[in-house]
Structure 1
Amino acid sequence: MKIIVCVKQVPNTNEIKINPETGTLIRDGVQSILNPDDANALEEALKLKDQNPDATVTVLTMGPPQATEMLRECLAMGADDAILLSDRALGGSDTWATSNALVAGIKKIGEFDIIFAGRQAIDGDTAQVGPQIAEKLDVAQVTYVKEFAIDGDEITVHRALEDGYEVLKLKMPCVLTAIKELNKPRYMSISGIYKAMQADVKIWSAADIGVDLTIVGLKASPTNVFRSFTPKPKGKGSFVAGDTEKELAVNLLTALKAKHII
């Protein structure tokens, strides 16, 4: 079984700040991490590898050279190979252009049975790249996967919905996007870290994957961010005191009337 996991290095959104003058992210000093949903996708691939000794797991990402650090984390968790698509020609790609580059990388890797990806990246929250990859490869896909089982070349998937889940069946090859409820990602092992530091992370340029330069990069991206901003903080809340429930209710109504809310 050949498994490809599409991952992304993202800024830790718990530490993100926005420049009020330019409206751009302040990345200086902000930690970069493996996108959380991608960690769940990788874990599911590694679970399949644990169950199938002949299975191989290849992690694929697109980004700047420092993304190799994140790929080494994936190798330390148990992935077999890591590939980074890095080229100035790919810079500034939106989801459409990014999926074009990733599809070109996947085609260079060769045949696959399953492509796993996270539901969405925390720095964009679009949830578009995984489905776009499936469409461009012309393979079946299921998003928001919370549970699945394999029987031969058929996969039964529980897809999360707002009010429950639906059960779907599809055949390999396919694309599945994971949510956090699917599993709990494993930690890197000491031996895994040692092996990952010695491993070769392949870095492929746009020329290496043979992608058409007119469909990748900033100029080829049909969407762009108009403005980014942080919402203004709301005022402090007020507390209503009272010794009994009735007194609390009376004091609350009095306060609301004083503010002409009621």
Structure 2
Amino acid sequence: MKHLVVTAAPVHDCRDPVVLDPVRKQVDPASLRWMLNPPDMIALEQALRLRDRIPGTRIRVVSIAPPAAESVLRECLAVGADEVERVWGEGIEGADPHGVASILAAAVRRLPF
């Protein structure tokens, strides 16, 4: 059995208006709608095409995502991913790109294949 791993990042949909919380003077997180980063959606689509050509292939999406972005991972399942894994924990929010890459690499290394 072949396994494909697609790393994916939920991002805020910039087409939606931003609502500011007048008390905290910050973006109201409840007003943000999440979507899959467009290049990551392309990667998932390519993985799905590969799976169509290689029988027995399974696709797992691994994502560093807060709980509020869970809908994005459900969308990955809806379009055809076999499994999703959301990585999140204390200290992840605000991690620099090297930190994010290290966390994703560790998550992929511990996959059971």
Normalising by the smaller structure, the TM-score range is 0.7 to 0.9
How do 1:65-144 residues align onto structure 2 when only pairs under 5 Å count? Answer: 65-111=67-113
Q: Do the aligned partners of residues 17 and 65 (structure 1) sit closer, same or farther apart at CA in structure 2, a change above 3 Å counting? A: closer
Q: Distance in 2 between matches of 1:23 and 1:41?
A: 37
Could you tell me which residue of structure 1 aligns to residue 13 of structure 2? 12
Contact 2:12 2:34 in 1 (8 A): yes
| Structure with more relative contact order (C-alpha pairs < 8 Å, separation 6 or more) | 2
Q: TM-score, normalised by structure 1?
A: 0.38
Any stretches of 5+ residues in structure 2 without a counterpart?
A: none
Give, in angstroms, the shift of residue 8 of structure 1. 1.2
Q: C-alpha root-mean-square deviation of aligned residues, in Å?
A: 2.1
CA deviation vs aligned residue, 1:165-220 (integer Å, no higher than 9, x gap) = xxxxxxxxxxxxxxxxxxxxxxxxxxxxxxxxxxxxxxxxxxxxxxxxxxxxxxxx
AA aligned to 1:12 is: D
Any stretches of 5+ residues in structure 1 without a counterpart?
A: 112-262
Could you tell me which residue of structure 2 aligns to residue 3 of structure 1? 4
How do 1:154-165 residues align onto structure 2 when only pairs under 5 Å count? Answer: none
Q: Distance in 2 between matches of 1:68 and 1:18?
A: 21
Q: Distance in 2 between matches of 1:23 and 1:16?
A: 16
Structure number with larger C-alpha Rg:
1
Q: Do the aligned partners of residues 24 and 63 (structure 1) sit closer, same or farther apart at CA in structure 2, a change above 3 Å counting? A: same
Contact 1:5 1:57 in 2 (8 A): yes
Q: Secondary structure at the match of 1:10?
A: strand
Contact 1:16 1:25 in 2 (8 A): no
Q: Deviation above 6 Å: which 4+ runs of structure 1? A: none
Q: Distance in 1 between matches of 2:25 and 2:51?
A: 43
Q: Distance in 1 between matches of 2:26 and 2:42?
A: 29
Q: TM-score, normalised by structure 2?
A: 0.84
Query: How many residue pairs were aligned?
Result: 109
Percent identity, please: 28
Q: Distance in 1 between matches of 2:25 and 2:39?
A: 26
Q: Do the aligned partners of residues 16 and 7 (structure 1) sit closer, same or farther apart at CA in structure 2, a change above 3 Å counting? A: farther
Give, in angstroms, the shift of residue 28 of structure 1. 3.5
